[in-house]
Structure 1
């Protein structure tokens, strides 16, 4: 109706007035066909343009989800707010930087490393498995080494060996800070002991490093936090806000009896969202990248999913085998999975996206083409994909910051050399990209098997209860897809514009140097923080150790540099001093 009335007004006004209504209609109906089509096309074009523009705007908003922030936001180093605070901070710094403290800290670290608090994948419940008993020795050691911590702070043992310390603050309206770490270490295999430069539990000090299992993962964190507490208590310091420490004892086996119990206790006693800031081990520490120094805290973690693939076929004598045994079919499934890897992708959802923006902005020695392409990725998905593909082709460790990984780590099948295997299985480990979910990995595995395997073999597929493929009597067997253990979705990504983040990063620059660029990053592994998501949105995984100061975690010749360790103690102490800001 709008088009009709508009064209009607194009008639000479007088002629239109003289014509009866029916004649005007006839004049309108006799107009050339092109006068009908052109306005219609114009209208359709306008509508389509509006739709496309709106879609593009929505797409851009979704792409640039940090549009209110700079590409790499930096917050200034914190400074003492008063002369009294400045005096206290100087006293604490001088105490930690002293030769006396260094020698004491060295003994503290050596004593901690010398206690082999190993955790094993097959550990039974606390109280039923005597391998947990070593933690009694470790607890006794901590109580003797940090007398003020254990006499002045509230200590709550959680599930026997979990440690929860609470340092009551003056202002109960301020939410607490929580420092995390874990007491356990990965086992030292007997066959590797001879390969160590120094015995793995000797805690030998060579004038630079303390050598031993757990030195850098993460007894340096546990001891460093407690040393910071003890030093401040020696100065009779009382924090404004409550300061807490929570140390699990089975992080290396996913924390089911340690951190999970501590987190549950905190939720029950403090409530959800009750912690303002959580600092745990992890992150990439402090590194020099293309001519600049970066602190790289982990603001998120990839997800975790183990999928078991089982092939069941008829048994029989190996002298009359089918063309493909169950092992042969399973091997083709594994081959098909490996031939169809996930693609690297780079989106603003991923903290590594911000890491790259920071390096592009602040690294003077970065290749100019890469710098420009990274910066272009702020508004271009195509540029972001170019960056992702390029980096993935250059560095495998960085590739998996941008894509879901898949690795077949377990395989089992066959019991006798002359008997066809009736049941074989493999387990594929996935570390899920932050943009993806467990259901996406399941769907991908199902799709690969349905498209690459089922057309070749008359098999049925049971994928988490959903059956497809050949389900008739002619089927020669079945393929099952199921969970191997409890999956974990990618973590929430912590913000980098909150007061807690500004205090945290301002402390990094205050202690490590104002020239340090803090770049949000991502962890490919998981820490105990996976149990703490309900307690705080501000969760940062950061071991305050410079590059080269910690080496070989989880392997032969693990060690921690004492100079770097002491600097880490300063960071923890200063963050506690800064905790009264809000």
Structure 2
């Protein structure tokens, strides 16, 4: 089948939704070990220990704030000392038998040396930090946000589902396998940053740089981090949805500067008024949804069409046509975008005005005001496309009405005469990030991930590549591996209210995650 011309289809020789079999034990000895380990994880004693481990982790409020200073200078980092002490006490075999390295004080890199040094390592990732609990919302929680209350089904608390569950689950898997004297063929590593919620520059960035220094580029066979859309029902079937890519990230600062003056003799449009016009123009011209094979969500939909019995016949037919018809793909994109806002932003660049600042006195016209617009860039697009779009929009919608100069990232244009009202400046609010490379789904690494998901969660699970609208710490690891997958191994019904009031995680789902991580480590010996 020929995919439509111009589409960046990386797997044109594959089925539209390839499925790989569940892993099964390859030897009697290995099968016995796997059964023994999984029996331990299934036991009531392990459940009780796991509950206490997870609760203890949640009870330490490792919050990271947007205005954090440098490590060693800002005392708000000090809470991570307590968290490290807790981990060392809780996982004694990990700390006594494996190589545990601290990086930039609070980053953690754990290395379990394998017997075969010719095999590239596997790396499991999570982050130690959590988003802060706003004081104004603390009394809105059903249970105090750092109580880690267990109600018989859920553990409640900030960070329990994002992502101390992943971190504790990985360490529990290490500890359990060490108790059984397991020795991996392949080196297994864990990397835990401590500021993912504020972009990871202090934590994961330093860990990735360290790994690049000691191992080099393309030195890791498989990386698994938090993320993806977990395991959920779609179109009448159960799907596991690992993220094979991430949208880009770009915060644009729009600054308007005018002469100011006394508010008793105002101009027709103050700097705030002009900025408001700019914001309105931007919001009135949103990006449009598009769907191409470059986007892993394209494959998600192909999997839905292939294996989802409850998908409407029209949608199924049109999705399959999209394999070779750009027109059909556009129909699908428009239909899904109109139906659900979440679907929309899997297929288009988003833009959201999140910060506005200007004016300090009620009777004084502000000379300088600004707004910051957050963009999550579609996988087919680029930071430069967003820049060009905003610059063009202001040039066509704003400058004809307001005689101002425009400084767009150092490129000055527009009316620069002395009669100009002032200047509009476009600049980066922070470091922009282009969309990630898309990881393949025909490699041994992906087949291992897919086969382990089916082995742990059920052979009827459809594993469908997907894309993430947000960003993870993996953005620093692109040079270390082409096989980067974002997958939180939890059923969606057991993981609720991430980043908001009443965050909680089902213990049943947490135990399943431990099984997944443990089985991934056992399966790593097979290739």
Unpaired stretches in structure 1, ≥5 consecutive residues: 1-56
CA distance in 1: counterparts of 2:316 and 2:60, whole angstroms? 47
Question: How far is the alpha carbon of 1:67 from its aligned partner?
Answer: 1.5
Q: 1:558 aligns with which of 486, 500, 503?
A: 503
- 1:34-83 C-alpha deviation (Å, 9 max, x unpaired): xxxxxxxxxxxxxxxxxxxxxxx896264544210000011000111101
Structure number with higher helix proportion: 1
| Residue of structure 1 equivalent to 2:248 | 303
Q: What does residue 205 of structure 1 align with? A: 150
Distance 2:219 2:421 in 1: 56
Confirm whether residue 350 of structure 1 aligns to residue 290 of structure 2.
no
Q: Distance in 1 between matches of 2:176 and 2:382?
A: 44
3-state SS in 2 of match to 1:327: helix
TM-fit CA distance, 1:206: 0.3
1:475 to 420, 434, 443: 420
- The alignment status of 1:576 with 2:509, answered yes or no, reads no
Which structure has more RCO (C-alpha within 8 Å, separation ≥ 6)? 2
Among 288, 299, 320, the alignment partner of 2:265 is 320
Counting only pairs closer than 5 Å after superposition, residues 12-161 of structure 1 correspond to structure 2 as 60=5, 62=7, 64-161=9-106
CA shift, 1:395, in A, is: 0.4
Give per-residue Cα distances to partners, 1:366-408, cap 9 Å, x unaligned.
1111111111100000000000000000100110000000001
> For the structure 1 residues 58 and 290, does the alpha-carbon distance in structure 2 shift closer, same or farther, using more than 3 Å as the test?
closer
Match of 2:159 among 214, 218, 232: 214
| CA contact 2:7–2:292 (8 Å) conserved in 1 | no
* Paired residues of 2:4 and 2:324 also in contact (CA < 8 A): no
Contact preservation (8 Å) 1:64, 1:379:
no
**For the Cα contact (< 8 Å) 2:3–2:324, is it kept in 1?**
no
Runs of 4+ in 1 over 3 A off after TM superposition: 61-65
Pairing 1:378–2:323 present: yes
Show the counterpart of 2:488. 543
Q: Matches of 1:98 and 1:157 in 2, distance apart?
A: 33
Q: Does 1:254 align with 2:210?
A: no
1:263 matched to 2:196? The reply is no
Looking at structure 2, the residues matched to 460 and 245 of structure 1 have their Cα atoms a distance apart, in angstroms, of 51
* Secondary structure of the corresponding residue to residue 492 of structure 2: coil
The answer to whether the 8 A contact 2:123-2:220 is kept is: yes
Deviations 1:131-179 (A, max 9, x none): 1111111111111111111110001011111110000000000000000
User: Is the 1:64–1:378 Cα contact (8 Å) retained in structure 2?
Assistant: no
Distance 2:428 2:435 in 1: 17
Q: Is 2:323 the partner of 1:363?
A: no
Of structures 1 and 2, the larger Rg is shown by: 1
SS of alignment partner, residue 169 of structure 1: coil
Shift of 1:433: 0.3
1:462 paired residue number = 407
Q: Which residue of 2 aligns with 1:567?
A: 512
State how 1:437-516 maps to structure 2 within 5 Å: 437-516=382-461
Kept in 2: contact 1:66–1:348 (CA 8 A): no
**Equivalent pair of 1:291/1:363 in contact (CA under 8 Å):** yes
Report the secondary structure of 2:261's partner residue.
coil
TM-score scaled by length of structure 2: 0.99
